[in-house]
Amino acid sequence: MSAATSISLAVADAIWDEIKSAGRASDEHLSILETLFGKNMLRSCKIVDERGVRRVTGAPSGRSLFLVMGESKRKEEYLCFPEHLCTCCSFFYDIVGRGEQLCCKHQLAARLAEAVGEHQEMEVTDEELAQMLAKL
């Protein structure tokens, strides 16, 4: 990871922490995030506005992941660990393959929705959560 990437991610983490503390994203927060993430940030805001983020929590472990809606007409849901992985094609092509983006719009949507409390909650058993992960 380059120094510039590390710095960008550190700035983003600080902004996410501020948003979470405030419980809302100010125009300044969103402007900084848009500078860091470009069009993916704008698209993530649309996903959050459309209530397209669900946090799935396993019981009794408390482990969780996010299901984030895509923007296509098919409205696929992508399994997402906001700071690490998304199952969308863009994650593997633009982030892993070409290294052109820091993260995909689904990861950003999950982080934003969690920070401002705009996600739906869904509880499943640990076994059901494991089955979701096994499909990866």
Would you say residue 5 has pLDDT above 90? no
pLDDT tens digits, 67-79? 999 987 677 999 9
The alpha carbon torsion through 51, 12, 71, 99 (nearest 10 deg) reads -160
Would you say residue 95 has pLDDT above 90? no
Nearest to 66 by CA among 85, 49, 50: 85
**Could you tell me the two tokens for 1?**
């990871």
Nearest to 117 by CA among 11, 19, 18, 13: 19
pTM: 0.91
**Could you tell me the two tokens for 36?**
């860091």
* Dihedral (CA of 4, 10, 100, 93) sign: positive
Mean of the pLDDT values across residues 46-65? 96
* pLDDT for the residue numbered 75: 76
Q: What is the CA radius of gyration of the chain?
A: 15
Q: Whole-angstrom Cα distance, residue 56 to residue 65?
A: 5
Q: Whole-angstrom Cα distance, residue 123 to residue 45?
A: 24
Residue 84, Cβ density class (10 Å: 0-12 exposed, 13-18 middle, ≥19 buried)? exposed
* pLDDT for the residue numbered 96: 87
* pLDDT for the residue numbered 87: 95
